[in-house]
Amino acid sequence: MNVSKMIAPHIKGVAPSGIRKYFDLINEMKDAISLGIGEPDFVTPWRIREEGIYSLEKGFTHYSTNAGYIELRQEICNYMERRFNLKYAAEKDVLVTVGGSEAIDLAIRAIVSKGDEVIIPEPSFVAYKGCTLFAGAVPVPIELKAENQFRLRREDLERAVTDKTKIIIIAYPNNPTGAIMEYDDYLEIVDFLKDKDIMIISDELYAEMTYVDKHVSIAIFDEMKDRTIVVNGFSKAYAMTGWRIGYACGNEAIIEQMKKIHQYAIMCAPTNAQYAAIEALRNCDDDVTEMITEYNHRRRVVLSGFRNAGMDCFEPLGAFYVFPDIRITGLTSDEFCERLLLEEKVLTVPGTAFGDCGEGFVRATYATSMDNLLEAIKRIDRFIKKFA
């Protein structure tokens, strides 16, 4: 039997990620510095790890309720209110998932039918498009612009919304650009969306990594609360990527349906991660602050590094990425990244990995040590001088 013929066309048709070659190249190199890793370099704070260990020692190794332990859901509600002024009910509005990624997948699957449209502002994290296609829906990219600091504007949506639009993805602070949305940025958008039958999936995994004021969720607007599924998690804020734990908050009607898929496909999020997550939310605000302070220091160093090297780079106010414009080199994003890696052993990710409109940009993360960053900046500076 030709097994590959058995694969569903809408799965097979999704292109694999284009960064494979960088993996292969860097793995053969010595002294290479990767600015391509989209996860914290910090290890999970010890008190969180210790709580996970303790749960194992006590033999807490069973399933939890499908939605996640109620204690955890309650802590999530406390956190959402404490940090973002969002009120949810632990019994019905919260679903604990296997990372934020699962929550995104569930939300899309619960809402779209074949042919429905999902608006995805780009450059963006790769999962939205993939999950949309897997669900049989149609991704509709919106091109965000560096001159608008990669923020979403009402005009962008007006052009893209059709009567088939079911979901708009909003992802701030943003991977890969580091852009944020502030309260005023949302006013016009909310005005446009408030009477439309369109759901918002707001991916707020990087919410804690906001370097001005405080993160603002679109769900803060009364008109948007029920239309918005807020996705958040522990991976970025608490450096817990490997634990695979996140959550979705929203109107109970949608959470209930997401829970149905989760129940059959997943059962429940890993329970030792759930115990650890309870500790994270209860007692680790200081650990988060310390990590965020460190990211902010590095952010300033890297930003000035790219600018001093002669590149245009808008100031990213969130996440842990910079997204410099590399067009002064005359190279494509892909050429830039390949040559920078081969010639200076610094790995960045081409903007095109995050959508066609990422051409002319690269993503560099500062989730790596200051020593690495300072050395990388030196090498990048040397590289850019070749094009002067």
Partner 1 sequence: MKNEILDILAKNSRTSNEQIALMLGKQEEEVKQAITELEEKNIIMGYPAIVNWEKTDRDAVMAFIEVRVTPQRDQGFDKVAERIYQYPQVKSCNLMSGGYDLFVAVEGKTMKEVALFVAEKLATIESVISTATHFVLKQYKENGVIYEQKYKDNREAVVL
Binding site for partner 1 (CB under 8 A): 17, 19, 22-23, 26-27, 32, 34, 36-39, 41, 43, 125-126, 175-176, 293, 297-298, 300-301, 304, 347, 349, 353-354, 368, 370, 374
Distance CA(19)–CA(16), nearest Å, equals: 9
Q: Burial-class residue 320 by CB neighbours within 10 Å (0-12, 13-18, 19+).
A: buried
For the bound state, the minimum distance from the C-beta of residue 305 to partner 1, rounded and expressed in Å, comes to: 8
For the bound state, the minimum distance from the C-beta of residue 67 to partner 1, rounded and expressed in Å, comes to: 28
Of 212 and 253, nearer to partner 1 (C-beta) is: 212
Q: Count other Cβ atoms within 10 Å, centred on residue 194.
A: 12
Of 157 and 303, nearer to partner 1 (C-beta) is: 303
Of 69 and 354, nearer to partner 1 (C-beta) is: 354
**What token pair was written down for 375?**
């050395």
For the bound state, the minimum distance from the C-beta of residue 150 to partner 1, rounded and expressed in Å, comes to: 17
| Helix-helix angle 127-134:99-111, to 10 degrees | 40
Q: Count other Cβ atoms within 10 Å, centred on residue 147.
A: 7
For the bound state, the minimum distance from the C-beta of residue 125 to partner 1, rounded and expressed in Å, comes to: 7
For the bound state, the minimum distance from the C-beta of residue 90 to partner 1, rounded and expressed in Å, comes to: 31
Of 82 and 300, nearer to partner 1 (C-beta) is: 300
The answer to whether 376 and 367 have CB atoms below 8 angstroms apart is no
Of 86 and 364, nearer to partner 1 (C-beta) is: 364
The answer to whether 129 and 106 have CB atoms below 8 angstroms apart is no
The answer to whether 84 and 229 have CB atoms below 8 angstroms apart is no
Of 259 and 298, nearer to partner 1 (C-beta) is: 298
Q: For the chain, give the number of residues.
A: 388
For the bound state, the minimum distance from the C-beta of residue 376 to partner 1, rounded and expressed in Å, comes to: 14
Using alpha carbons only, give the angle 243, 246, 249 rounded to the nearest 5 degrees: 165
